[in-house]
Amino acid sequence: MNWWVKPAVAALFCGVLWVLFQEGLALERKIVATAAIAAYALILLRYNKACLGEAEGESGAGVDYLVAYATETGTARQIARQTCKTIRENGLRASLVELNRLVSSPRPSKGLLVIASTTGNGDAPRTGDAWQEEGGSFLRNFASCSYAVLALGDRSYSNFCGFGLQVAAELQQAGAVPLFEPVLVHQGDPASVNYWFRQLSRSAVPARR
Ligand SMILES: Cc1cc2nc3c(=O)[nH]c(=O)nc-3n(C[C@H](O)[C@H](O)[C@H](O)COP(=O)(O)O)c2cc1C
């Protein structure tokens, strides 16, 4: 659960009690205020549930593949979701996680798949700029773990796919084992993205018979 959801819902509940016990407030107003506060609490709880769904597997439940994404404008997240979906359609367990939260994710039993874009001048996007915040020692958990990287970028930048390639290099340095060479994608080129899915089906996620 997001840390702030519980206190926020508790505060809203107190708000409901406060409204109900207000003297001199018309009954209709009490009903409207109570309904509005309760609806807001419900929205918060549903939002939190959606967040938990996205980070499924972080609680320690075993997964076959962990799909980590680092994105600035959403493309990498979208491909990561599609990657998770493909894995699940093949009867395997996949969990989606922001790269910045990889540090607190359990090691997957079959492999780590990273989809990362590059921003600035070869820099990490916002959802991946703190993935090594604690010094990167957690990467030891991924030693001997299979991994693959899909790096999104644009050839007009001198540091083409710089961040994705950096992630791949650091995983390899930590002892993780590449399933195949990093797949580099220029401007979201669909042919390269299809190649990623073909590589996955060859090396990692064989189609269900
Ligand atoms: C401000 C900016 C800086 C970028 N810098 C780089 C770069 O240094 N190297 C690169 O290969 N691509 C660079 N790109 C291209 C993005 O990586 C590419 O558009 C990618 O598909 C974006 O994916 P995302 O939506 O997941 O963030 C840059 C794009 C923008 C808008």
ipTM: 0.99
What pLDDT does residue 51 have? 53
In testing the pocket of ligand 1, which one of 81, 119, 129, 196 has its CB within 8 Å of the most ligand atoms? Answer: 119
Instruction: Determine the distance separating the centroid of ligand 1 and the alpha carbon of 121, expressed in angstroms.
Output: 9
Q: Are residues 197 and 118 in the same domain?
A: yes
**Is 209 inside a domain boundary?**
no
26-70 pLDDT, tens digit per residue, is: 888 888 888 888 888 888 887 766 555 455 443 445 899 999 999
Q: Are residues 29 and 110 in the same domain?
A: no
- Mean confidence (pLDDT) of the chain: 88
Spatial separation of the C-alpha atoms in residues 143 and 140, rounded to whole Å: 5
Q: Are residues 47 and 78 in the same domain?
A: no
**Is 60 inside a domain boundary?**
no
**Is 59 inside a domain boundary?**
no
Angstrom CA distances, 126 to 4, 36, 71, 93, stand at 21, 34, 7, 27
User: Which numbered atom of ligand 1 lies nearest the CA of 121?
Assistant: 8
What b/e string do you get for 68-89 counting C-beta neighbours within 10 Å, with b at 16 or more?
bbbbbeebbbebbbebbebbee
What pLDDT does residue 57 have? 43
pLDDT classification of 2: cutoffs 50, 70, 90 = low
Q: Are residues 88 and 151 in the same domain?
A: yes
Q: Are residues 150 and 169 in the same domain?
A: yes
- Domains identified in the chain, total number: 2
Q: Are residues 14 and 87 in the same domain?
A: no
- What's the average model confidence in pLDDT over 162-188? 97
CATH of the domain at 182: 3.40.50.360
Give the structural domain span for 49: 5-54
Percent of the chain with pLDDT over 90: 61
Ligand 1 is surrounded, with C-beta below 6 A, by 71-76, 117-122, 125, 152-154, 157, 159-162, 188
pLDDT classification of 113: cutoffs 50, 70, 90 = very high
